[in-house]
């Protein structure tokens, strides 16, 4: 059980851009956190003003002010900015302030070094499907984070989808698969819709058929736990149409192409921190 309800805890979201904004919006909409206990930052003053007005929370460009009294700091800035932001906020953090970072490529040890002391750190890798509460997030804890800290982080990502706890060595793989994954899925979906247009369907109908089919197939895998290959076999009538389509996919090397895409994205995920 969590010691204190999230809605009673003070949250600071630093770098409320695309991903930070998605999470913050969801928390406020669901009442997971109370607006009066939330502060957020971005780097441009005019964006801060617009976001503050839209969300009804305090949004500034002042990270130090935002973390004052915060019990949870959700760090959503780009990987290259994490170091300087941590150094900046460090003097204002309490010894037990939980720091949760969604930055790709940034290890918990890197953050712990810059924070000093025994500040608990959780590293998370969500995806943008969190925007419709259908996100997928991998989380792992640093050396000072407790099981309760991990549960707090889990609750914050469960609120926008599913969460899986992984060893930190797998975080780049999570980045390459489920964080980059929506982009890969959109390309597949767009191609299926294009195919529908090619065989004569109106584009809006083709897009609906493609999207609902992908959503349906994913839901069957999640709900039945059956192996995708077995489910594929059930669609594939001997000498029917599906097997002809599958032959085209095999010839076009769809499988190996997708595998290579995730492998590349995973490798790239390990590099981001070291770039300026």
Applying CB under 6 A, which of residues 11, 85, 150, 193 lies at the interface with ligand NAP?
85
Would you count residue 126 as binding ligand NAP (CB under 6 A)? yes
Helix 203-224 to helix 228-235 angle, to the nearest 10 degrees? Answer: 130
Shortest CB 223 distance to ligand NAP, Å: 25
Applying CB under 6 A, which of residues 55, 104, 115, 121 lies at the interface with ligand NAP?
104
User: Which residue has its beta carbon closest to ligand NAP?
Assistant: 17
> Helix, strand, or coil here: 252?
coil
Would you count residue 107 as binding ligand NAP (CB under 6 A)? no
- Write the DSSP string, 23-34: HHHHHHHHTSS-
Would you count residue 260 as binding ligand NAP (CB under 6 A)? no
Shortest CB 177 distance to ligand NAP, Å: 12
Applying CB under 6 A, which of residues 6, 9, 15, 139 lies at the interface with ligand NAP?
15
Q: How far is CA 43 from CA 17, 62, 75, 78, in A?
A: 9, 8, 13, 11
Would you count residue 14 as binding ligand NAP (CB under 6 A)? yes
Record the tokens describing residue 164, joined without a space. Answer: 């899986």
DSSP code of 175?
A: I
Would you count residue 81 as binding ligand NAP (CB under 6 A)? yes
Record the tokens describing residue 130, joined without a space. Answer: 């969190």
The b/e string for 149-188 (b: 16+ C-beta within 10 A; e otherwise) is bbebbbebbebbbebeeeeeeebbbbbbbbbbbbebeeee
Q: Which of 179, 156, 6, 184 is CA-nearest to residue 79?
A: 179
Q: Which is nearer to ligand NAP, 123 or 141 (CB)?
A: 123
Applying CB under 6 A, which of residues 25, 34, 47, 52 lies at the interface with ligand NAP?
47
Return the range that interacts with ligand NAP (CB under 6 A); candidates 28-36, 43-51, 113-121, 184-192: 43-51
Return the range that interacts with ligand NAP (CB under 6 A); candidates 115-123, 124-132, 192-200, 244-252: 124-132
Contact residues toward ligand NAP (CB under 6 A) are: 14-20, 41-44, 47, 63, 76-79, 81, 85, 102-104, 125-128, 179
């Amino acid at each position: 059980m969590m010691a204190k309800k999230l809605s009673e805890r003070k949250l600071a979201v630093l770098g409320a851009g695309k991903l930070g904004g998605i999470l913050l919006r969801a928390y406020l909409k669901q009442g997971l956190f109370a607006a009066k206990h939330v502060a957020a930052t971005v780097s441009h003053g005019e964006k801060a003003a617009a976001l503050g007005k839209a969300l009804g929370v305090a949004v500034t460009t002042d990270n130090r002010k935002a973390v004052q009294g915060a019990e949870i700091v959700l760090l959503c800035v780009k990987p290259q900015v994490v170091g300087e932001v941590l150094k900046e906020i460090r003097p204002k953090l309490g010894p037990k302030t939980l720091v949760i970072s969604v930055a790709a490529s940034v290890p918990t040890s890197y953050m712990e070094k810059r924070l000093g002391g025994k500040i608990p750190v959780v590293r998370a890798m969500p995806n943008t499907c969190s925007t419709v509460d259908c996100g997928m997030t991998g989380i792992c804890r640093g050396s000072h984070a407790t099981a309760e800290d991990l549960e707090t982080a889990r609750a914050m990502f469960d609120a926008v989808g599913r969460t899986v706890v992984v060893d930190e060595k797998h975080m780049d793989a999570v980045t390459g698969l489920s964080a980059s994954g929506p982009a890969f899925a959109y390309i597949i979906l767009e191609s299926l819709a294009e195919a529908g247009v090619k065989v004569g369907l109106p584009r809006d109908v083709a897009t609906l058929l493609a999207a609902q089919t992908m959503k349906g197939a994913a839901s069957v895998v999640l709900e039945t736990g059956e192996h995708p290959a077995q489910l594929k076999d059930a669609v594939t009538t001997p000498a029917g149409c599906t097997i002809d389509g599958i032959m085209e996919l095999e010839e076009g090397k769809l499988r190996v192409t997708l595998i290579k895409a995730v492998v590349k994205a995973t490798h790239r995920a390990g590099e981001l921190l070291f770039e300026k």
